[in-house]
Structure 1
């Protein structure tokens, strides 16, 4: 139990700290805006520099593929269209439960607008209890809890592709526009540090699911709320660099050794979303950017990730999509229009993603019922001494 009376004395100091931080943030934003104006005049040179010296930088620079002053207004969505979305949740394995296993629950949403078709709103649970499911990741030094999260990402992509490719007729000249939505980034940077064999078991099926979406022409979008990325602003670090050739290890290694900011970090820790809030009106998007994160070297060319920032009204959202979507201006414009309509219907967040989450989430009552049902089946199978650990039993009760 949290004693609020004892913590109340720290709150005034916190308020003063955040007030000072807000003032400093405004100053960093002003400095970034000045660099942004300068960068617009040297965009071609900055992109060339970023490409030439990418292996000598301590940071990743996204490359703009449109003029930096591009801020188009997103059009209205087509009256008839379909939305597909998935999201996942899980019950983590615990040695204190009656059985060591884990469960992944994938929420599925298929909504149709302007059509006489029924929606799909459900979830699909998968239980993992066999040794090959629980301990396969140990050979690579990966915790079972982490591997469970990676497997959830795979299932989200596979179920999303299944809905779009099998349950709806593949798009044709007279078909309704479609859009596949996922919550979060399409750049799976967490795979970069995994062994090759483990990484292939996660990334390969995801890319296969994305390829099936590409073949039927259903665009894929990853929606990031409250993004903390600064990948686009890193272009301004090249503008702020005082050296003719940006070579971080050669020129600025002493700053890193002392854990100090380098001169080009004049606006750090400003985020892309904070910056674009000053430039985008509601319904506008930023220019398109091509991500340069190293993990994308494992993606095929058609699936390399592009992104832009969109003022959806409630916030500045980062929106990611594969190269084949970015390269089709009509398809991209229509997809962003459908996405913005979803945000408006969801009062600040895409309604399809919100409903997919609601279908996927495993609440405490669901968890209790799952293990109660499992306990019944284990007893029926003739197992004895079925029960939770004494530690878990005491944590669930109280003597006061």
Structure 2
């Protein structure tokens, strides 16, 4: 049981610490705004340094493709449009359950606006119990629970592409009705960096094929990142803050990152605003309904994405500064990009601060306690029909579910 009296004493110290952090963050923001103002005067030169000296820079600043001080209003979408989304949930494998298996449940949503059509709100469950499903990842040292999460990402992308194909077959639908595909979270799958190449291909290739399907159908794909902790645009300001004519981390800052005797990592002169996040600086620049300039992410994992390089911008959706990510084929089509951003803003308004399609996809996908109980009850019935005996959970699991304390 939590002792709130003892906890209250610690809270006082924490509040004082937070007050100091707020003041430090305010000063970092002032420095960042000053760097942004000076960087816009010679943006082309900084980008040139970024391209020519990439192998000498030990951080990954995003590359601006528009003036870095541009703040553009997003136009309202047409009244007639379609938005669809997917999101996933799962039941993880457990050695204490009646059977070692896992279940993926992908919620899918299609919302038609101004078309007098009923929305689609359902989910697609799939159970994995074959040895090749449960143990294939162990050859690469990946736990089954982790592999299940990666497979869920693939399923979300594949089902999203299937929806796009379905909509593209409706006569005249895509020619006259703007359509948007949305996913929750980033389009840059950072977890791929730690995977062996064979495992990475099994995950990434189906995703990129699904994106190709959307591209060929002419449907823009958009990733909505809420509460982003990224600092890719702030990292670009480090090029301006560098005291040397040409940035060269290897030559001028070889000891950066080394832990000192007090346990702190040594910083370079250009790290004056860290750990400031992108959302903080753009919150001071953007009015509701405005977006930041477009940036191209320079994350190294994107070298594997072929024509699907990830671009992003920040949008003041009214309730927060959201990071919006799109593949290159959307970013390079200005009309398609503006339509996609307009439909996204409308989704946030309809969802009272968060895109309604993503919220409903999550609600369709989530596996609640009652669903889990019914799933294992159905599984138990099938096992009994198959003639299996002594079916049940482990004593540990049964005891935890029925405490007498």
TM-score bucket of the superposed structures, by smaller chain = over 0.9
Which residues in structure 2 correspond to 1:247-326 (within 5 Å)?
Answer: 247-258=248-259, 259-301=265-307, 303-326=308-331
Q: List per-residue Cα deviations over 1:247-297 (Å, max 9, x = no partner).
A: 212221213223222211100000001110000000000000001101111
Match of 1:350 in 2: 355
Deviates more, 1:384-393 or 1:30-39: 384-393
Structure-1 separation of matches of 2:174 and 2:301: 36
Match of 2:403 in 1: 398
Length-normalised TM-score, structure 1:
0.97
Match of 1:12 in 2: 12
Length-normalised TM-score, structure 2:
0.96
Match of 1:180 in 2: 181
Structure-2 separation of matches of 1:176 and 1:399: 60
Structure-2 separation of matches of 1:347 and 1:21: 30
Structure-2 separation of matches of 1:376 and 1:253: 64
Match of 1:34 in 2: 34
Structure-2 change in CA distance of 1:327 and 1:172 (3 Å): farther
Match of 2:344 in 1: 339
Match of 2:166 in 1: 166
Which residues in structure 2 correspond to 1:64-83 (within 5 Å)?
Answer: 64-83=64-83
Q: List per-residue Cα deviations over 1:312-350 (Å, max 9, x = no partner).
A: 000000000011111111111111000000000001100
Structure-1 separation of matches of 2:87 and 2:314: 22
SS at structure 2 position matched to 1:257: coil
Q: Is the 8 A contact 2:168 2:174 kept in 1?
A: no
Match of 1:240 in 2: 241
Q: CA deviation at 1:57?
A: 1.8
Deviates more, 1:162-171 or 1:382-391: 162-171
SS at structure 2 position matched to 1:160: helix
Structure-2 separation of matches of 1:345 and 1:295: 34
Q: CA deviation at 1:244?
A: 2.1
Q: List per-residue Cα deviations over 1:40-66 (Å, max 9, x = no partner).
A: 011001111111122222211100000
Structure 1 segments unaligned to the other structure (5+ residues): none
Q: Is the 8 A contact 2:94 2:101 kept in 1?
A: yes
Structure 2 segments unaligned to the other structure (5+ residues): 260-264
> Aligned pair 1:139/2:139, yes or no?
yes
SS at structure 1 position matched to 2:69: coil
> Aligned pair 1:194/2:195, yes or no?
yes
Q: List per-residue Cα deviations over 1:179-210 (Å, max 9, x = no partner).
A: 00000000112101211111111100000000
Deviates more, 1:163-172 or 1:369-378: 163-172
Number of aligned positions between the proteins = 399
Q: Is the 8 A contact 2:74 2:290 kept in 1?
A: yes
Deviates more, 1:178-187 or 1:15-24: 15-24
Structure-1 separation of matches of 2:242 and 2:356: 43
Structure-2 separation of matches of 1:163 and 1:110: 8
> Aligned pair 1:108/2:114, yes or no?
no
Structure-2 change in CA distance of 1:363 and 1:173 (3 Å): closer
Match of 1:221 in 2: 222
Match of 2:262 in 1: none
Q: List per-residue Cα deviations over 1:79-121 (Å, max 9, x = no partner).
A: 1000010000111111111111111100000000000222110
Q: CA deviation at 1:173?
A: 7.5
Structure-1 separation of matches of 2:2 and 2:58: 42
CA RMSD across the alignment: 1.2
Q: CA deviation at 1:298?
A: 0.6
Deviates more, 1:12-21 or 1:149-158: 12-21
Structure-2 change in CA distance of 1:373 and 1:306 (3 Å): same
Structure-2 separation of matches of 1:350 and 1:264: 37
Q: CA deviation at 1:309?
A: 0.3
